[in-house]
Amino acid sequence: MAKNLLIVESPAKAKTIEKILGKDFKVKSSFGHIRDLPVSELGVDIENDFKPNYIISKDKTKVVKELKSEVKKVDDVWLATDEDREGEAISWHLSEVLGLDSKTVKRITFREITKPAVKKAIENPRNININLVNAQQSRRILDRLVGYELSQLLWRKIKGKLSAGRVQSVALKLIVEREREIRNFVPVSTFKVYAIFDVENDKGKIVQLKAELNKVFNGEKQAYDFLNKIKNSVFEISDIKVKPVKRNPAPPFTTSTLQQEASRRYGFGVKKTMMIAQRLYEKGLITYMRTDSTNISDVALGAITNFISSEYGEEYHQFRRYSSKKNAQEAHEAIRPSYIEKRNVSGDKDEQRLYELIWKRTIACQMSSAIMERTDVEISISDYDSAFFLATGQVVKFDGFLKVYMEAKDDEEDDEVKGMLPPLRKGQKLDKNIIEAVQKYTKAPARYTEATLVKKLEALGIGRPSTYAPTISKIMEKDRGYVVKERIEGKEREVLKLSLKGDEVLKKTEKEIYGAASNRLHPTDMGMIVIDFLEERFSTIMDYGFTAEVEKELDDIAEKGLDWHKIVADLYFPFHKEIENTYANATRVRAKRELGKDP
């Protein structure tokens, strides 16, 4: 019979660890949290220093009973839940419910489920970190107090079954504000001028050289006058500038950057990405997937170095240390493969794709920079000296990390790839093929995707790796009716095109489709009404800076052991006064909001 009981929160994780530890350990799962605040009541004793009333949920009574039975059969109990605040809280709740001494129980953590990592953890047990527990507990209590009281207020003042929350409502506010920006956006028309010149290449074949005027025109008449003026102009290369361009690899993945890249490449929602990453972690294939650190362990760096040098050559390796953002936990690691030499894994298609993405990003982050050669060619116009045409080409001289991986771009980012130019020389006269002035419209800001919303939340300091996916999932729940995710069909509009071919300027009207996009987040009418109501009456809670400051205070509880009761009290009591004032003075919202038309 095993002398040791090791408890984790996931059955898949338990299965992987049991294979590593052998017969001396029995590994059981708690199936997540075993207790929490009650669902149907506040569950926090405000007058008794915010004491939480934790209860064991009905679906966990059998699990608790089995774990209590197992505890009696062994000499030692080990708690090996995840290394973040949520995992620490699960261990603390287990020690409380199972009657273990939180000061002596053996708490272990590891960032990857591999034999060396698990064995090392067993050799170095510690106590439960009560500061981490208090940070998690503070977040849970704050979110319950704010969410419970705001939701009840919304039921009374707007509509039943609505909900609000300390972080989720701020995230919804971002979506609503972006929607209003889009609806108020008035596109501005300008004319850009493009030229195609016929040039002989090094094989004697005529090829096309494309160039763009370094000036835009505000109206059709200006564009027409320009084309008319240069009908008989001589076009000559006035300058050629060649310069090296260095491109560096992206840092290894954090939670948010993995969510963003998986969305851009595969269209994964943040919840789906985290579910797949969780499975990969529990199988022992990647390091822990909730992290804001870009740090990589020395052992892993050594393995990456050896792999790159042997696989691609030493010239492809460049040692790099990446600085994490402020408040990142450097003791944690970035998301990386557990075994660097393992390029592919078995499993379903999504697991294979996400693993390959993590593997490539990890290898690339320690590879040499890519070296490009950029050539800018200025083409003068004999009859117009206040502007010139610019042709740009770029060639890869050394591929470096691009041999393995290139980061994807968001839809709104313009990163046109330039190709190789034909042989050109300063003073060379160019034969005009066609010059066109094309009407262009400024673009409205793009609606958020799940991934770009995570990026914005992170930039504002709102939320942490463990909260991004749950926050976005909450505001997108159908029962809440605040946000919908859908494809935006493009709209048709007319654009003018003026063409100079020979010595004649021709005008024609073409149609273009604009604004098409996939997986965009739209606020509903109700979502906008709720945000307007909260913004008007709870400006502090809805303030981005205030929400970020609360996150920093939660970090301080975890890292410095600050008094969590005071932090909760300082936020709650002013907020509760606003709740009472709103009950007394706010009238019920009845009017349906006119949303206007999408531009």
Predicted local distance difference test score (pLDDT) of residue 47: 96
16 pLDDT above the threshold of 60: yes
338-370 pLDDT per residue, tens: 999 999 999 899 999 999 999 999 999 999 999
Query: From CA 568, how far away is CA 553, in angstroms rounded?
Result: 10
Collapsing DSSP to helix, strand or coil, 66 comes out as: helix
211 pLDDT above the threshold of 50: yes
411 pLDDT above the threshold of 70: no
Looking at 158-297, list the stretches that DSSP marks H as alpha helix, in order from N- to C-terminal side.
168-184, 220-229, 255-266, 270-282
Residue 22: enclosing H or E segment and its boundaries? none
Predicted local distance difference test score (pLDDT) of residue 441: 96
Average pLDDT over residues 278-307: 95
Instruction: Go through the chain and tell me how many residues it has.
Output: 599
Predicted local distance difference test score (pLDDT) of residue 416: 55
CB 588 within 8 A of CB 529: no
**pLDDT band at 599, cuts 50/70/90?**
very low
Q: Which residue in 24, 28, 51, 52 sits closest to 38, CA to CA?
A: 52
Q: Which CATH number fits domain 189-248+370-441: 3.40.50.300, 3.30.56.10, 2.115.10.20, 2.70.20.10?
A: 2.70.20.10
Average pLDDT over residues 469-486: 90
**pLDDT band at 412, cuts 50/70/90?**
low
The dihedrals phi and psi of 535, each to the nearest 5 degrees, come to -60, -40
Quote the radius of gyration of the chain (alpha carbons, Å). 30
2 vs 186 pLDDT, higher one: 186
Architecture of the domain spanning 4-128: 3-Layer(aba) Sandwich (3.40)
CB 44 within 8 A of CB 76: no
The CATH homologous superfamily for domain 138-185+445-482+524-585 is Topoisomerase I, domain 2 (1.10.460.10)
371-382 pLDDT per residue, tens: 999 999 999 999
Query: From CA 56, how far away is CA 65, in angstroms rounded?
Result: 11
Predicted local distance difference test score (pLDDT) of residue 330: 43
134-166 pLDDT per residue, tens: 999 999 999 999 999 999 999 999 998 899 999
56-91 pLDDT per residue, tens: 989 999 999 999 999 999 999 999 999 999 999 999
Predicted local distance difference test score (pLDDT) of residue 296: 94
Collapsing DSSP to helix, strand or coil, 589 comes out as: coil
The dihedrals phi and psi of 364, each to the nearest 5 degrees, come to -60, -35
231-280 pLDDT per residue, tens: 999 999 999 999 999 999 999 999 999 999 999 999 999 999 999 999 99
**pLDDT band at 414, cuts 50/70/90?**
low
577 pLDDT above the threshold of 70: yes
CB 295 within 8 A of CB 332: yes
Predicted local distance difference test score (pLDDT) of residue 393: 95
| pTM assigned to the model | 0.90
Query: From CA 566, how far away is CA 546, in angstroms rounded?
Result: 16
Torsion angle of C-alpha atoms 53, 54, 55, 56, degrees rounded to 10:
-170
Range in 171-180, 230-239, 564-573, 588-597 with the lowest mean pLDDT: 588-597
Average pLDDT over residues 422-431: 95
Mean pLDDT of the chain: 93
Catalytic residues: 288
Question: Given 3-state DSSP classes, what are the helix, strand and coil percentages for the chain, each rounded to the nearest 5?
Answer: 40, 25, 35
Tell me what percent of the residues of the chain surpass a pLDDT of 90: 85
Query: From CA 288, how far away is CA 292, in angstroms rounded?
Result: 11
Predicted local distance difference test score (pLDDT) of residue 466: 85
316-340 pLDDT per residue, tens: 999 999 987 665 544 589 999 999 9
**pLDDT band at 420, cuts 50/70/90?**
confident
Tell me: domain 255-364, CATH 3.10.129.10, correct? no
228 pLDDT above the threshold of 90: yes
32 vs 598 pLDDT, higher one: 32
**Domain extents in the chain:** 4-128, 138-185+445-482+524-585, 189-248+370-441, 255-364
Predicted local distance difference test score (pLDDT) of residue 305: 97
Predicted local distance difference test score (pLDDT) of residue 327: 57
Predicted local distance difference test score (pLDDT) of residue 201: 84
492-544 pLDDT per residue, tens: 999 999 999 988 999 999 999 998 988 899 999 999 999 999 999 999 999 99
Q: Which residue in 240, 220, 185, 270 sits closest to 457, CA to CA?
A: 270
**pLDDT band at 595, cuts 50/70/90?**
very low
